[in-house]
């Protein structure tokens, strides 16, 4: 049976809060194993993330997973944020190093902050017995030193206490399969969960891909060519692309998928509706 999870982003306005509430309500019938909420670097962004987590847990829509990065926080602030999640009943964290803030070309540790996801995973796991997911890159991260170095980082994340690696979205399914096989060959005991992007705006998709180093293949551009002003058709194309990728990866043995929803429940239903899901009690126990 297939396990699914979703990622949403926190609202910044009352109108966005209402839309997020509608998104969470719409995703709940799909019985996700968890829903994660992305975060920013401290301040109001962190408060918005925590508020979205509270909405998720208060509504009992799905188990919640908080995001935590090394960006914009000292070690003490990161520790306090992790404990705040635990006290709110959150038992699953998605831990990332995080991208460089706007205006910086490369990531630099915050003063007295954690220097890497490996450090942050180890610290959070030592504080409380969180379930921890981390990031993996089927295509090299823009700052990658080498594929071998990337494997070593994933091994260190596992040693630090992570149990699951969610991939950056990648339209080359074979690259995801290759990553899983290389990790298995290296003895890295992380469950590899493909991250699937649900996006019907090709221009926005291209911008996101550029930031994370994901390749936008020519066939993808062709699928969206000439339909910029046809939102319904763009949604159908986006759903078909995501569903086809999921089916390809299922044939390759993957049985868990994480969907980057961009807060679009309609696309999530179009893609996930036909899938066979694991029972909710099995997901909560996994």
Q: Which residues are catalytic?
A: 7
Residue in the structure block whose two tokens are 């609202």: 11
First to last CA, the chain: 12
**Which residue, among 242, 247, 140, 151, has the nearest Cα to 192 in the 3D structure?**
151
Count CB neighbours of 171 within 10 A: 21
3-state SS, residue 243: helix
Cα distance between residue 92 and residue 41, in whole Å: 19
Check if the beta carbon of residue 53 is closer than 8 Å to that of residue 87.
no
Specify the residue for token string 């829509």.
Answer: 61
Q: Write the CA distances from 137 to 94, 151, 153, integer angstroms.
A: 15, 10, 11
């Amino acid at each position: 049976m297939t396990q699914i999870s979703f990622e949403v982003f926190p609202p910044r306005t009352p109108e966005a809060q209402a839309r997020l509430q509608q998104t969470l309500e719409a995703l709940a019938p799909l019985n996700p194993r968890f829903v994660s909420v992305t975060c920013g670097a401290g301040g109001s962004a962190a408060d918005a993330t925590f508020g979205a987590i509270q909405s998720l847990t208060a509504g009992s829509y799905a188990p919640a997973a908080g995001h935590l990065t090394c960006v914009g926080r000292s070690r003490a602030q990161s520790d306090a944020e992790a404990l705040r999640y635990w006290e709110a009943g959150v038992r699953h964290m998605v831990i990332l190093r995080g991208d460089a803030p706007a205006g910086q070309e490369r990531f630099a540790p915050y003063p007295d902050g954690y220097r890497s996801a490996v450090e942050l995973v180890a610290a959070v796991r030592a504080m409380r017995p969180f379930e921890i997911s981390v990031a993996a890159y089927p295509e090299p991260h823009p700052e990658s030193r080498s594929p071998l170095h990337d494997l070593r980082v994933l091994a260190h994340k596992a040693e630090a206490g992570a149990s699951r690696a969610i991939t950056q979205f990648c339209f080359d399914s074979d690259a995801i399969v290759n990553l899983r096989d290389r990790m298995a060959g290296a003895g890295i005991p992380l469950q590899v969960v493909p991250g699937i992007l649900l996006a019907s705006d090709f221009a926005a998709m291209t911008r996101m891909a550029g930031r994370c180093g994901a390749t936008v293949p020519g066939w993808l551009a062709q699928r969206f060519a000439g339909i910029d002003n046809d939102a319904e058709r763009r949604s159908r194309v986006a759903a078909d692309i995501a569903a086809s990728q999921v089916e390809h990866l299922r044939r390759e043995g993957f049985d868990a998928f994480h969907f980057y929803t961009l807060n679009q429940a309609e696309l999530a239903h179009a893609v996930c509706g036909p899938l066979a899901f694991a029972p909710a009690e099995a997901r909560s126990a996994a």
